Structures are given as C-alpha cells and as structure tokens.
Homo-oligomer: A and B are copies of this chain.
Amino acid sequence: MSSQPSDIVFVGNKPVMNYVLACLTLFQNGSNEISLKARGRAISKAVDVAEILSNRYMPESTVKKIDIGTERVDDAHSGGTTSVSSMEIRIAR
C-alpha cells in the first residue's frame, strides 16, 4: 500500500502556516511521505504550503507527484450536486 500515504493534510480556510506546521509535525513524528489535499479556492493555498515547506523549512523534501481531479459535492442551495476541482500534492523527504 505504498502508493497511498496515510498522512494526509487537508488544506482549507485556516492560515497557511497552520498547514505548514501540520506537515512539519507529521515529518517530525516519522512520516516519510505526506499528502496535501485541497478543493476549490484552497488549491492555491495548498501550493503555497508545499512551496513554503520545501523552500524554507525542509529543503531536502521533494514534490513527488501532483494530481488534479474533479469531485462531486452536495450543493446546499440547489439540493443537487456541483463539481469542484481538487488537487493532491505528495511530498517526500
């Protein structure tokens, strides 16, 4: 099951440094590979997290894989479903 790291950081509405710290904590606790996941407008922030992490805190880390996709989510307004873009960034040390 090496293709799916169990350590996932979901990037949402919190400040970008919260997610950088979450990643650093996972690596410090022994993770060798983590996954940043984001949807919609948070995708830009996930890229910020990956860049700040690798440029400022973990220069030895590498971005192994970036995947983009589309997810269907329930739309509270219309009662139906709507599509939202998603992204996953795998970072290994």
Contacts and interface: CB of A to CB of B under 8 A. Distances in A.
Given A55-B70, A66-B68, A68-B63, A47 B89 contact: no
Contact of A44 (B41, B69, B83): B41
A50 interface: yes
Interface residues of A, number: 20
A25 interface: no
Interface in A38-63: 40-44, 47-48, 50-51, 55, 63
Contact of A50 (B44, B68, B89): B68
Given A41-B44, A44-B85, 6 more contacts: A43-B43, A43-B44, A51-B68, A51-B70, A66-B67, A66-B68
